[in-house]
Amino acid sequence: MEARNKKLSPMEDIILNYSAQGYSSKEIALELGGSKRTVETHKTRILLKLGATNITNAVGIYAKQGLLQ
């Protein structure tokens, strides 16, 4: 997946799309071969960049922009 929002990095884009599909941080980490803590760090950055209050809100913002796959 390529980042389609200039504010989000490619990895943040991937993680947000997994989150939109209902994956937990642990499940995303297993899929990507990383740690749960790294995924949570990316999620925190996503919230800050999108001005969201939680990951569900971030998914909604991203969806409204037409950026979810």
Q: What is the pLDDT of residues 19-65, one digit of tens each?
A: 999 999 999 999 999 999 999 999 999 999 999 999 999 999 999 98
Query: Is the pLDDT score of 4 beyond 80?
Result: no
pLDDT value at 2 more than 50: no
Instruction: Domain 10-64: give its CATH code.
Output: 1.10.10.10
For residue 6, what pLDDT band results from cuts at 50, 70 and 90? Answer: low
Compute the distance between CA of residue 2 and CA of residue 5 in angstroms, rounded to an integer.
9
Q: What is the pLDDT of residue 54?
A: 97
Q: Kindly report the pTM of this predicted structure.
A: 0.86
Distance CA(34)–CA(39), nearest Å, equals: 8
